[in-house]
Amino acid sequence: MTNPSLSDWGLYIHIPFCRSRCTYCDFNTVIGMGEEDHRRYVDALLLQWQRISAIPRGNLVSIFIGGGTPSLLAPDHIDRILEAVRRKLGISLEGVEITMEANPGTVNESRLHKYRLSGVNRLSLGVQAWQNHHLQRLKRAHSVLEAAQGVEAARLAGFDNINLDLIYGLPQQTLAEWEDSLTGVLGLNPDHLSLYQLQVEEGTPLAVQLQRGRASLPAGDMSADMADRGRERLIEAGFVPYEISNYCRPNKHSRHNRLYWTMNPYLALGAGAHGYWNARRWWIIRGVRRYIEDLQAGGNGIAGEERLERLEEMREYIWLGLREEGGFSRNRFRDKFSINPESAFGAVLGGLHRRGLVERQSEYIRLTGRGRDLANYVFREFVGSS
């Protein structure tokens, strides 16, 4: 797996619409919007795209249409968006990875085929669990059967790069159920799998349920067992673990995800989207109505930004890079920052090495198996004040 060139860049496009809100979700989503709202939102999004004046000089390698539920947008809208990208950059999107997230309950073969024709070449479906009672409790808008049918339809529609998401550590989830979920998704023969541990985010319905004792998380080390079991099963099935929560068939890794870990530039389109380029992180207005109003009033949609000091950028480079199974390239670090990682962070890296959490393999610095288990412990060495 070769690293992207330092100048390769990506484009993230956020589509916030959802049919219903999952209990654990704290992403920027909005429910109850109709066709007219979709049109106004896409219009605003295209305005925002037109007003972006500075475009990275390197190659656009990935477009990621995330949400929310992008598959709620009619294929025409997706087509308009991708066409605008093509036109402004004056390039063909042929070699570009174009991912779209979809909810299995919102798609059929003909609709998927239209997305495919617009240029979408990678599909990411949220399966999450293989038990309808879990899906219902999480307020997912689909059943296990619909998930399976969705994958089937995507294949028929011509998608040869499909990711499925699963979540472990669900309330009341047993290890046996998790095994069933893994078996279930592996049976669908996906190209890529993301296994996420459930995070309880403040203010979500799930957090309230837990507080009031209406739900309980798996006890003790159960979640850790699930993570270990997931990794074993996927490796047995021929998947390559290439990042803390991501697995793929050989050469089917997500190019977009990797841009985040290798600190490549990415531009942000749509409400609540985040961008990064030239030591600058910025984010777009979250509220859909305010976003549309800002664009209609001639604004650029940007809500805030932060500039990374050089030291901060180097530290982020390290902890983001360590998320990848192979770690980060020392040479690439030196190319970007003109210093060896050991010269900048010798003491910290040395300490982590002594504790058996990181190791060096030829020109890469990576987490050991134990370091992967305690990734946050390692990452914390590279944030905040010491």
Partner 1 sequence: MKQSEIRNFSIIAHIDHGKSTLADRLIEYTGTLSAREMAPQVLDSMELERERGITIKAQAVRLDYEHEGRHYELNLIDTPGHVDFTYEVSRALQACEGALLVIDAAQGVEAQTLANLYLALEHDLTVIPVINKIDLPNANPEKVQEELIEIGLDGTEAIMVSAKLGIGIDETLALVVSRVPPPHGDENAVLRALIFDSRFDSYKGVLVYIRVVDGSLRVGDQIRFMATGASFEVAEIGVFRPHPTTVSSLTTGEVGYFAASIKTVQDTHVGDTVTLAANPAEEPLPGYRPAQPMVFSGLYPVESSDYGRLREALEKLQLNDASLTFEPETSAALGFGFRAGFLGLLHLDVVQERLEREYNLSLITTAPNVVYQVHLTNGEEIRVDNPALMPPSGEIQEIREPMVNASIITPSEYIGAVMELAQERRGIYKDLSYIDKQRAMLNYLLPLGEIMFDFFDQLKSRTRGYASFDYQWSDFVPADLVRLDILINGEVVDAFSMIAHRDKAYQRGRSLVEKLRDLIPRQLFDVPLQAAIGGRVIARETVKAMRKDVLAKCYGGDITRKRKLLEKQKEGKKRMKSVGSVEIPQEAFMAILRVDDK
CB 152 to partner 1: min, Å: 26
Residue type, 380: R
Question: How many Cβ atoms sit within 10 Å of the Cβ of residue 386?
Answer: 8
> Exposed/middle/buried for 9, CB within 10 Å: 0-12, 13-18, 19+?
buried
Q: Is 377 in the site for partner 1 (CB under 8 A)?
A: yes
Identify the residue among 38, 281, 334, 336 touching partner 1 (CB under 8 A).
Answer: 281
The pair of structure tokens assigned to 329 is: 């390239």
Binders of partner 1 among residues 300 to 359 (CB under 8 A) are 306, 316, 319-320, 355, 357
Residue 55 as a binder of partner 1 (CB under 8 A): the answer is: no
Considering the complex, what minimum distance in angstroms separates the CB of residue 36 from partner 1?
26
Strand runs labelled E in 35-161: 60-67, 97-102, 122-128
Rg (CA), the chain: 21
Contacts made by residues 52-55, CB under 8 angstroms, sequence distance 24+: 52/267, 52/300, 54/277, 55/88, 55/89, 55/267
Size of the site for partner 1 (CB under 8 A): 41
Distance CA 277, CA 274 (A): 11
What's the token pair of residue 245? Answer: 């929560």
- Quick note: the x/- pattern for partner 1 over 59-78, rule CB under 8 A, is -------x------------
Applying CB under 8 A, which part among 105-113, 293-301, 331-339, 373-381 lies near partner 1?
Answer: 373-381
Nearest approach in angstroms of CB 355 to partner 1 is 6
Distance of closest approach, residue 132 Cβ to partner 1, in angstroms:
23
Q: 9, 178, 242, 276: which one contacts partner 1 (CB under 8 A)?
A: 276
Report the distance separating Cα 95 and Cα 362, nearest Å: 31
Q: Which one of the spans 46-54, 83-91, 144-152, 216-224 is the region binding partner 1 (CB under 8 A)?
A: 216-224
Q: Which amino acid is at 7?
A: S
Give min distance, CB of 174 to partner 1, in A: 18
Closest CA to 329 of 377, 362, 378: 362
Maximum C-alpha span of the chain: 59
Cα 3 from Cα 208, distance rounded (Å): 42
Count of Cβ atoms closer than 10 Å to residue 368 Cβ: 17
Tokens of 309: 């000091």
Q: What does the per-residue mask of binding to partner 1 show for 14-33, with x meaning CB under 8 A?
A: x------------x------
If the CB atoms of residues 115 and 276 are measured against partner 1, the closer one turns out to be 276
Quick check: 260 binds partner 1 (CB under 8 A)?
Answer: yes
194 binds partner 1 (CB under 8 A): yes
Rule CB under 8 A: say whether 375 interacts with partner 1. yes
- The reply on whether position 84 binds partner 1 by CB under 8 A is no
362 sits near partner 1 (criterion: CB under 8 A): no
Residues 6+ apart with CB under 8 A from 230: 166, 168, 178, 182, 195
Using DSSP bridges, classify how beta strands 364-367 and 328-329 pair: parallel, antiparallel or unpaired. Answer: antiparallel
**Please, what is the minimum distance in Å from the beta carbon of residue 35 to partner 1?**
26
Per-residue binder mask for partner 1 (CB under 8 A), 217-246, x = binder: ----x-xx--x----------------xx-
Footprint of partner 1 (CB under 8 A): 12, 14, 27, 66, 194-197, 199, 221, 223-224, 227, 244-245, 257, 260, 266, 268, 273-276, 281, 283, 306, 316, 319-320, 355, 357, 372-377, 379-380, 383-384
